[in-house]
Amino acid sequence: MSWLLPDAVLTATGLQAGLAVELDGDLVGRVCPCPPGVEPERLRGKVLLPGFVNAHSHAFQRALRGVVQHAALGSDGGQGPKDSFWTWREAMYALAETLDPDAMERIATLAFREMVSAGFTTVGEFHYLHHQPDGSPYAAADELSLRIASAARTAGIRLVLLYVAYARSGFGVAPNPRQRRFIHRSPDDVLAAIGRLGDVGVKQGFTVGLAAHSVRACPEAWLRELSAFSGVIHAHVDEQPAEVAACLAEHGRRPVQVFADAGMVSERFSAVHLTHPDDAEIDTLSRLGGYVVGCPTTELDLGDGFLPAGRLDGRVGICIGSDSHAAIDPFAELRAVEWHARALAGQRNVLRPVPADDPRDGLALRLLETGSLWGARSLGVNAGRIETGRLADLIAVDVTGLEFAEARLLPTLVFNGGPAAVADVWVGGRRLKSSGRR
């Protein structure tokens, strides 16, 4: 056992000075004034927060950084066709075709290390590269999933492997040869892989969930079979208007209703993106439970649209992900959740604050819960608050920088903080990053 004594600890109602945190193996022990006779590690100039949770990641897409930030060129050297999510997707598919297991592990390790450095302590890896480029299985069927797990161990991040079910290129769409690495023959094959990986995860320290990729990739018959899975389920939902239109053409219903009718939507379900829902879909998510994973920096980068956080507020739990890793910055994701809401509503301070020791901190505290507690719940992980019995996934933020001078601390952490201020990181009580300053 060991003790940490920062300048303040984030509690459910705000920052509190004078508290020490006991690390009891991989859990938080006591959170209390430092007991007599204890010599804690003093974290001067730092505040202790629960680690951030990245609830949606495609680690291999980290290799696209800087590569897709220009429009495609035409044959004459001028700008080519209008760039969009769909043209970006073709560039992503081209990358996916080139990755062998070693490259996959190398890129994932880089992405996960950057997450840890930025303050993420858990990642939900939405993993859909399963097979060789020609679609045939590897000799070890779960080769690429195990490479993701190896990358997470190397980086030290807590992994929830969200194993993707992918059946087709879309309703009435000819098979895309670039998607051969993603596709399984049947829901039974998907569930069998999840079962195998779950057994390995028990030994190697990761957990496994199900990702039903989207309504365009999974026919309704697949969704009904996959809904028997008893763990967490994530899916891309309402990311693009064309996706919604294709779903209406096939099913006569919008995506959330298709997932709900298949028996998937519950308190274990997370809808990723949800940038184009209608009111009935929000009503369904609110009634049946579940979460929305917003990835604001990616949604802006891809031109997806704005997360309608104001319409979800108080009805559906919101958490964050970095998705394609255009940026890996939990602070940027959190303030963008609120800023998206402001842009859509034409007003400021949209999301309702949570009860706080000082009402001025309520919005910031709400957004910090979005970055930690709600993401942990979305992934089924016992983390997200600094409380006895929860996982000791913690970050210490150095608040001596100029950005914090003469400013109210908690709102400044959210609206002006960044990865550079993350000084120390612990996952399961194990220190992964240290500023060297005590």
CA distance 203 to 231: 18
In SS3 terms, 359-404 reads as HHHHHHHHHHHHHCHHHHHHHCCCCCCCCCCCECCEEEEECCCHHH
Is residue 273 among the annotated active site residues?
A: yes
C-alpha distances (whole Å) from 235 to each of 133, 196, 367 are 24, 21, 23
232-191-108-70 Cα dihedral, nearest 10 degrees: -90
Q: φ, ψ for residue 339 (rounded to 5)?
A: -65, -35
Angle formed by the axes of helices 187-204 and 143-155, nearest 10°: 30
Residue 347, judged by CB atoms within 10 A of its CB (0-12, 13-18, 19+), counts as: exposed
- What DSSP line would sit under 312-324, residue for residue? HTTTSEEEE--BT
Give 85-93's long-range contacts (Cβ < 8 A, gap of 24+): 85/239, 85/240, 85/302, 85/303, 85/304, 86/240, 86/242, 88/302, 90/178, 91/64, 91/67, 92/61, 92/64, 92/324, 93/176, 93/178, 93/179
Whose structure tokens read 């930690």?
372
Sequence letter at residue 74: G
Is residue 184 among the annotated active site residues?
A: no
Q: Catalytic: which of 323, 329, 393, 398?
A: 323
As a whole number of Å, the end-to-end CA separation of the chain is 18
Q: Catalytic: which of 56, 273, 325, 340?
A: 273
Cβ contact 221:178 at 8 Å: no
The two tokens of residue 251 are 């099913």
Q: What is the layout of strands, in order, in the sheet containing 158-165?
A: 52-57, 120-127, 158-165, 207-212, 233-237, 269-273, 291-294, 317-320
- Give the torsion sign (CA, 410, 415, 417, 419): positive
CA-based nearest residue to 49, from 339, 303, 371: 371
Say how far residue 292 (Cα) sits from the centre of its chain.
Answer: 10
Question: Which residues is 273 bridged to in the sheet?
Answer: 237
What is residue 323's DSSP assignment? B
3-class state of residue 67 by DSSP: coil
Catalytic residues: 273, 323
